[in-house]
């Protein structure tokens, strides 16, 4: 029995649910997955281990991990018919538009064989989603550049398989760079789960009606796409590129503070963290490692570092408790690895799928759970009688 947190948030909680997966202390900048600090998991664990931890509550032993990885590998391929669906999209379709479509379409293949009241069928559906997201995301990228899809190679790691399906071509062997593979795996860990964020709450609300998990995850993908949420990683890199040079940072800091300007510093601020997002710290370290390994000196990274330094010493950001979040540095790494900005949120969705399915399982397995039904404070007109159109 692990120690139970009795955390008093200091406000009358409007908690939407109980959950034992992830604990965040926004004031301390603390993030735990089943009690394990995110920085320890990012440094010492693997995405497959963290996936097992989120789904089953404990870190796996070697035999359990081997079986889990074998099981995930058995679901990495997608139905050949699903490939036809990609051809219905324009080549320049945003990968998140494709992911919304093709993940929802998985329902058409597995809806009839997914009785959500059967724990084993819930487990299989969860494994299918975790396993197929890299294949579907890589296919979205390949489709956008007019290259052929590559089938999964289950001799590779989860991250290595994804890198090969994304950047490999049939004409030659693809060699997975271990530093890039480790960085990719760590990025997946950092995005795996994050309590009741908007997209996870969307998955829970959709799932509370009894909808099949594939449709629920498609709903989560749609919510994640927004620039205030998972779309911020793409927006953050675009912002850093628009700033371009360190001397233009003050102009953007001033815009971010101007209440009449809708501009926000993308990758900054958070609904819960009023301290440094612990994931951003690991992401910044990873950016340094990847850029050093690739021998890339990206001026955008210099802009990001200077922007962070200026903002963290600015009275407005200090008073509003605005710090870099998980999305501030991730785009720099992903761009250095070779991903276009349009793929960044698809990668976030790929990694967050394990958190979504773990939270969905936690909810569905609770016999007391009911359909979600948020209420409102009504602000419209009081009751009144109908007026015929010739009297209006």
Q: Which is nearer to ligand SDX, 266 or 337 (CB)?
A: 266
For the segment 95-114, give every residue that binds ligand SDX (CB under 6 A).
none
**Selected range binding ligand SDX among 31-39, 69-77, 289-297, 319-327, rule: CB under 6 A:** 319-327
Question: Which of the residues 185, 193, 277, 327 is marked catalytic?
Answer: 327
Note whether 33 binds ligand SDX by CB under 6 A.
no
302 vs 283: CA distance, rounded Å: 15
What does the DSSP 8-state code read for residue 324? B
Residue 304: phi, psi to the nearest 5? -60, -45
Among 125, 326, 350, 357, binds ligand SDX (CB under 6 A): 326
Q: What share of the chain is helix, strand, coil (3-state, %, to 5)?
A: 60, 5, 40
Note whether 228 binds ligand SDX by CB under 6 A.
yes
First to last CA, the chain: 68
Q: How far is CA 130 from CA 163, 173, 193, 239, 339, in A?
A: 16, 25, 13, 31, 21
Specify whether the CB–CB gap between 118 and 361 falls below 8 A.
Answer: no
Note whether 320 binds ligand SDX by CB under 6 A.
yes
Note whether 250 binds ligand SDX by CB under 6 A.
no
For the segment 196-215, give every residue that binds ligand SDX (CB under 6 A).
197
**Selected range binding ligand SDX among 101-109, 260-268, 280-288, 374-382, rule: CB under 6 A:** 260-268
Is there a catalytic annotation at residue 327? Answer: yes
Q: Which is nearer to ligand SDX, 176 or 266 (CB)?
A: 266
- Residue 314: strand, helix, or coil: coil
Specify whether the CB–CB gap between 221 and 349 falls below 8 A.
Answer: yes
Q: Which of 269, 265, 268, 304 shows the shortest CA–CA distance to 284?
A: 304
Q: Which is nearer to ligand SDX, 256 or 300 (CB)?
A: 256
Note whether 265 binds ligand SDX by CB under 6 A.
yes
Note whether 346 binds ligand SDX by CB under 6 A.
no
Among 266, 280, 303, 343, binds ligand SDX (CB under 6 A): 266
Supply the DSSP string of 181-236, one letter for each residue.
HHHHHHHHHHHS--SS-HHHHHHHHHHTTT--HHHHHHHHHHHHTSTTTTTHHHHH
Question: Which of the residues 94, 185, 270, 277 is marked catalytic?
Answer: 270
**Selected range binding ligand SDX among 69-77, 149-157, 302-310, 317-325, rule: CB under 6 A:** 317-325
What residues make contact with ligand SDX under the rule CB under 6 A? Answer: 194, 197, 228-230, 232, 256, 264-272, 320, 322, 325-327
Q: Which residues are catalytic?
A: 270, 327
């Amino acid at each position: 029995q692990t120690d139970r947190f009795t955390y008093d948030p200091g406000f009358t909680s409007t908690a939407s649910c109980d959950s034992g997966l992830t604990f965040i202390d926004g004031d301390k900048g603390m993030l735990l997955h089943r009690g394990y600090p995110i920085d320890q998991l990012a440094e010492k664990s693997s995405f497959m281990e963290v996936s097992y931890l989120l789904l089953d509550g404990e870190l796996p032993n070697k035999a359990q991990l081997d079986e889990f990885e074998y099981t995930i590998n058995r679901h990495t391929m997608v139905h050949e018919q699903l490939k036809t669906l990609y051809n219905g999209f324009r080549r320049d379709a945003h990968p998140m538009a494709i992911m919304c479509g093709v993940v929802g379409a998985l329902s058409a293949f597995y809806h009839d064989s997914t009785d959500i009241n059967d724990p084993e069928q819930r487990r299989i559906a969860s494994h299918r989603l975790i396993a197929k997201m890299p294949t579907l995301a890589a296919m979205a990228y390949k489709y956008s550049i007019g290259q052929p899809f590559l089938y999964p190679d289950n001799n590779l790691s989860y991250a290595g398989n994804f890198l090969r399906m994304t950047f490999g071509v049939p004409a030659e062997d693809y060699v997975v760079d271990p530093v890039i593979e480790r960085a990719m795996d760590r990025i997946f860990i950092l995005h795996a789960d994050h309590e009741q964020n908007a997209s996870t709450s969307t998955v829970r609300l959709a799932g509370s009606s009894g909808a099949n998990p594939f449709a629920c995850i498609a709903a989560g993908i749609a919510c994640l796409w927004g620039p205030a949420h998972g779309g911020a990683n793409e927006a953050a890199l675009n912002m850093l590129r628009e700033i371009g040079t360190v001397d233009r940072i003050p102009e953007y800091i001033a815009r971010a503070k101007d209440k009449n300007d809708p501009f926000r510093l993308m990758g900054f601020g958070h609904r819960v963290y009023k301290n440094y997002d612990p994931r951003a710290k690991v992401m910044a370290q990873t950016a340094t490692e990847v850029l050093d390994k690739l021998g890339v000196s990206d001026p955008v990274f210099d802009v990001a570092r200077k922007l962070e330094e200026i903002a963290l010493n600015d009275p407005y950001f200090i008073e509003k408790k605005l710090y870099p979040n998980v999305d501030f540095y991730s785009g720099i790494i992903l761009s250095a690895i070779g991903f276009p900005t349009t793929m960044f949120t698809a990668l976030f969705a790929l990694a967050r799928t394990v958190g979504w399915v773990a939270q969905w399982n936690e909810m569905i397995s609770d016999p007391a759970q009911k359909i979600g039904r948020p209420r409102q404070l009504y602000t419209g007109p009081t009751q009144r009688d109908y007026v015929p159109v010739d009297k209006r």
